Amino acid sequence: MSKILVIDDDSSICETLELYLTEEGYKVQTALTGTDGLNRFVETSPDVVILDIRLPDIDGFTVLEDLREENENVKVIMITAHHDMESTIEAMKGGAFDYIHKPVDVDELDIAIKKAINTINMERKINGLLMEPSRDFKFGDIIGTGPKMSEIFKTIGVVSQSKTTVLIQGESGTGKELIAKVIHNNTSRSEPYIAVNCSAIVETLLESELFGHEKGSFTGAITRKLGKFELARYGTVFLDEISEMSFNLQAKLLRVLQEMEFERVGGKDKVRVNGRIIAATNKDLRTLVKEGKFRDDLYYRLNIVSIDIPPLRNRMEDLEPLIGYLLTKINRDLHKRIVGVSDEMMDIFRQYSWPGNIRELENLLVRAAVVAKGQILAKEDFPVLFESVDYKKMETEREEETKSIAGEFLTLDEIEERHIRKVIRDTDKNKGEICDILGISRPTFERKLEKYGITFERE
């Protein structure tokens, strides 16, 4: 039986709440002053405290502070007759679990109490232990336990022994720059790491950023400027979103990769490139080459060693360790004590398609941690997810699928067709890679596409 302490100077409110909550199955105690309430709290250790802001002896905010000093995990629901913004903000900043206005709506209070007790029960499951990163991960590590990530780790180990050009491909939010930094740190940590976003700088400025310029080479060039390739020395230049680079700059970059030298804008002297170039893109460069949107000769120069990062939806085995790692980072940055995610949310996370990948996961966890009222992140802490277009689309697809199979069994052909369509829809792979996922040969895959009338454009 959960215990509740009501601290309010209005005896009629105390009596009403004691009667109602006792009928609801709670063990209830009341106090008419802040001092009496604090004493009863120490004596009985209630699960939930219902606390009035205006008390005759001690201010309610002071009582809240003292309660949390006694037990930082106490769930305090504050009630007040004053509807001012400042009090609400101060109560939530002080660590109140919820804030309810008088006259108290018992339905609203009942919901708040149940949420508080549910949070307490989840926290008790983990015995009050804070989640630590699995296997002593350090901040900046790449989290991955599956075979695909294992192969990436092996590739990083191999390329770190030299300064070979590396091409990293993967959807937005999969951690392309993190992999670039790990390669750099394992090769030449003491040398500079310089990142350039090719899509964020206009062509004329990007050329100067990469190669530098001589004094007087264009209007505004009042001094010589060294470019990123020169500043990197023996370190790394990371070219993010390489697919957005213009054809003119692609040609100049190709020469850099071929000759390992360049000229500053407006200059004649040759400048030697001594560092490593790592390029990244969230697009399929092979497709862009076929479409005439990217130089094929540059593609082959960049693609000496290629790392393809799988999207989060294709590496669900890493979801839990990723959440543990990110929550530890969030706790450090926000001075929080978030322990984990509820079982209900983990089930939702496993079914979600994660279009924004790890970046989306981290953003959701940060928002949830900021508004969370307990140590366990529950469904109500993720309103942004449930309001998103992608989640609503997922729910609609699930409902339609459920309706289509309600009351009847699917044939093997129907199951196979749905699975093939799902793999094509949820991955950005070419035919050969999808054949590997499905475990079938290319001719078999072609026959099944024809059989089920599936259009597939990617090569």
Pairwise CA distance, residues 19 & 125, whole Å = 30
Residues 358-375 have pLDDT tens digits of 999 999 999 999 988 878
E strands, 14-142, in order: 27-31, 48-52, 75-80, 98-101
Torsion sign across C-alpha atoms 408, 414, 419, 425 = negative
Give mean pLDDT, residues 89-93.
82
User: With 90 as the cut, is the pLDDT of residue 136 above it?
Assistant: no
What are the DSSP calls for 168-225, one per residue?
EE--TTS-HHHHHHHHHHHHHTTS-EEEEETTSS-HHHHHHHHHEE-TTSSTT--S-E
| Amino acid identity for residue 328 in this structure | T
Q: What is the pLDDT of residue 459?
A: 58
Q: Find the distance separating the first CA and the last CA of the chain, reported in whole Å.
A: 62
Q: What is the pLDDT of residue 140?
A: 61
Backbone region of residue 128 per phi and psi (left: phi > 0; alpha: psi in -120 to 50; beta: other values): left
Give, as one character, the DSSP assignment of residue 148.
H
Could you tell me which residues come within 8 angstroms of residue 151 by beta carbon, excluding any fewer than 6 positions away?
none
CA angle 73, 128, 332 (to 5 degrees): 80
Residues 301-348 have pLDDT tens digits of 999 999 999 999 988 889 999 999 999 999 989 888 888 898 889 989
Element of type H or E holding 376: strand 376-377
Which of 344, 349, 293, 278 is closest to 319 using CA atoms?
A: 349
Q: What is the pLDDT of residue 289?
A: 94
Pairwise CA distance, residues 369 & 376, whole Å = 9
Which of 42, 39, 41, 63 is closest to 51 using CA atoms?
A: 63
Could you tell me which residues come within 8 angstroms of residue 391 by beta carbon, excluding any fewer than 6 positions away?
352, 385
40-44, 240-244, 402-406, 427-431: the lowest-pLDDT one:
402-406
CB 78 within 8 A of CB 60: yes
Residues 247-303 have pLDDT tens digits of 999 999 999 999 999 988 888 888 898 889 999 999 999 999 999 999 999 999 999
Question: Could you tell me the domains of the chain?
Answer: 3-125 (3.40.50.2300), 147-308 (3.40.50.300)
Band of pLDDT at residue 125, cut at 50, 70 and 90: low
- The gap from C-alpha 351 to its chain's centroid, in whole angstroms, comes to 15
Residues 187-202 have pLDDT tens digits of 887 899 999 999 988 8
CB 53 within 8 A of CB 87: yes
Pairwise CA distance, residues 361 & 359, whole Å = 5
Band of pLDDT at residue 32, cut at 50, 70 and 90: very high
Tokens 């080479």 label which residue? 217
